[in-house]
């Protein structure tokens, strides 16, 4: 079986952190008390997205999307 792993990441500047919400560049907001606590005092955050695809058909599609 063929397995393909694709990873995308981007560092974003943190605009503001409150008790319930983290606001990053471009007006994106994450509502999470836990995240707010963990990154309190940080200036930037790395956002990542990972996908795992298996099979020949998926491999063909993935080559055109990554």
Q: What is the pTM of this model?
A: 0.61
CB 25 within 8 Å of CB 12: yes
Query: 30 vs 18, 27, 33, 34, 38, CA distance in Å?
Result: 10, 10, 9, 11, 13
Q: How many domains does the chain divide into? A: 1
Please give the pLDDT value at position 19: 93
Structural domain boundaries, residue 39 = 3-65
Please give the pLDDT value at position 54: 64
- The three-class DSSP label of residue 59 is helix
Instruction: Give the residues of the chain that fall short of pLDDT 50.
Output: 66
CB 2 within 8 Å of CB 55: yes
CA distance 29 to 5: 27
């Amino acid at each position: 079986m063929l397995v393909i792993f694709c990873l995308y990441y981007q560092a974003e500047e943190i605009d503001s952190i409150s008790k319930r919400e983290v606001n990053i560049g471009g007006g994106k907001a994450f509502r999470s008390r836990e995240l707010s606590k963990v990154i309190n005092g940080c200036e930037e955050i790395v956002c990542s997205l990972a996908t795992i695809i298996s099979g020949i058909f998926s491999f063909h599609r993935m080559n055109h999307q990554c």
